[in-house]
Each structure stands twice: as structure tokens, then as C-alpha cells.
Amino acid sequence: MGDASTIIVGTAGKAYMADVGSTFPAGPEEVWGSDFTDMGFITPDGLEEALEEERTQLDAWGEDAPVVDLARKRTQTFKLVFRQTTAELLSLYYQVSLANMISTAAVTTPAPKKQFLSFGSGSLADTVEIALGLDVIMSGKRHRIMIARCGVSDREAVKHSAEESSNLGMTFTALAAPGGAQSVQHMITDVPKPA
């Protein structure tokens, strides 16, 4: 029988980033630790989560269907489009570590000049990986997703126009977690396990 209370509609959400190896909260209602940085506003499209598998099937003589179906690889991706422009998001989008960015301070005299951030891009030597935390929120329910280690595997084109904000659309791919831990963990409130 259908139960409308089990329908999840992601009416709001947040994304957090930290260094790989950071400790995630122990439950979906717990506050994110101080080592996690709020990544800012996300477009109303929300979060797009995908799970792909590569499988190998083994046949046997005289059998008309595979006798073994093995999962060889599972790839989990998480797509978000950020409305804000911050040093952290630019670091992820352009794959430039924060250490390789230069912030030039504002000058008030003699001629005022604004603060600015500068960096080069295009070097494959700089690889930025993060721990990523995601909250999908609806009417008191929470679906928390914790990715121990991930990198940006795809980027949307940045559009600069008078009709839309210059959004940074990125797809994060979960990578093998340090120490053999689970690469992705889910916590979802109000979903009981059958007895």
C-alpha cells in the first residue's frame, strides 16, 4: 500500500566541503564540524545523484542465460550548480589549489583599487580533491550524503550575461576513500528498516 509520507521532495539543500580525511557527523541531524565549509547557494535544480555500474557476465555451455553477473566497478556522481563565486569554488572548477592563488589586497590611497584574486589554470600538476557533504531537506526530513573523497569530473560552461548569474556547474565523482572506508555513506531520517 502506498504511503505518501515516504515521498522525498528536496525542497532545500546544502553542500559542504572539507579536506580529505575530515570527520563526518555521526548522524543526519548533527551539525557539520568546523572543518566543513558551507559552499553557498545552489540553483533550484538541486542535486542530481547518479550510480553507474560496469558488469561482467559469464556464460556456460548449454545455458541460455548468463550463470554469473559480476559488478566490476561502481561510479557514483553528484551534480550541483553553484550560484556564488568564492575562492573555494573557483579552486574546484579550475583545479587550482588555494595555495596557488594570490589575493592582492585593496588599496585606498593614492588611487583606490579593489581587492582581487588571481591564478593560472591549465596545469595538470594541480589536482584538487575534497571531502563533500550534502544535505537534502524536506519538511523536517533529511537525507545526508557523505563522500569521503571526490574530485570534479565534469564542468558546465560558465555563462556571463545580463540575464543570469555566472553559475559554476560541477559534477563530483566519488573516489576510493582513505584507509579502505566506504567512499559514500547515506543517512536518511524516518525510513524504518523492515523487521
From CA 3, how far away is CA 178, in angstroms rounded?
Answer: 39
Asked whether residue 24 is assigned to any structural domain, the reply reads yes
Predicted TM-score (pTM) of the model is 0.90
Q: What is the DSSP secondary structure assignment for residue 64, as one 8-state letter? A: S
Ranges of residues in the chain whose predicted pLDDT is under 70:
1
User: Helices (DSSP H) in the chain: which residue ranges?
Assistant: 87-94
Asked whether residue 120 is assigned to any structural domain, the reply reads no
From CA 46, how far away is CA 146, in angstroms rounded?
Answer: 16
pLDDT digits (tens, 9 = 90+) for 20-61: 999 999 999 999 999 999 999 999 999 999 999 999 999 999
Asked whether residue 15 is assigned to any structural domain, the reply reads yes
Contact 127, 95 (CB under 8 A): yes
**What pLDDT shows up at residue 91?**
96
Asked whether residue 33 is assigned to any structural domain, the reply reads yes
Asked whether residue 105 is assigned to any structural domain, the reply reads no
**What pLDDT shows up at residue 29?**
94
pLDDT digits (tens, 9 = 90+) for 138-147: 878 899 999 9
Contact 41, 84 (CB under 8 A): yes
CATH number (domain holding residue 39): 4.10.410
Asked whether residue 156 is assigned to any structural domain, the reply reads yes
Asked whether residue 3 is assigned to any structural domain, the reply reads no
Say if strands 12-18 and 68-82 run parallel, antiparallel, or are unpaired.
Answer: unpaired
Count of domains forming the chain: 1
From CA 100, how far away is CA 85, in angstroms rounded?
Answer: 17
From CA 48, how far away is CA 13, in angstroms rounded?
Answer: 12
**What pLDDT shows up at residue 84?**
94
Asked whether residue 2 is assigned to any structural domain, the reply reads no
In the chain, beta strands by DSSP E: 12-18, 37-38, 48-58, 68-82, 102-104, 116-118, 129-138, 141-155, 168-174, 184-188
**What pLDDT shows up at residue 62?**
93
Residue 158 burial class via C-beta count within 10 angstroms: exposed 0-12, middle 13-18, buried 19 and up: exposed
Contact 141, 29 (CB under 8 A): no
Per the structure, the complete domain to which residue 136 belongs is given by 10-54+65-98+126-188
**What pLDDT shows up at residue 71?**
87
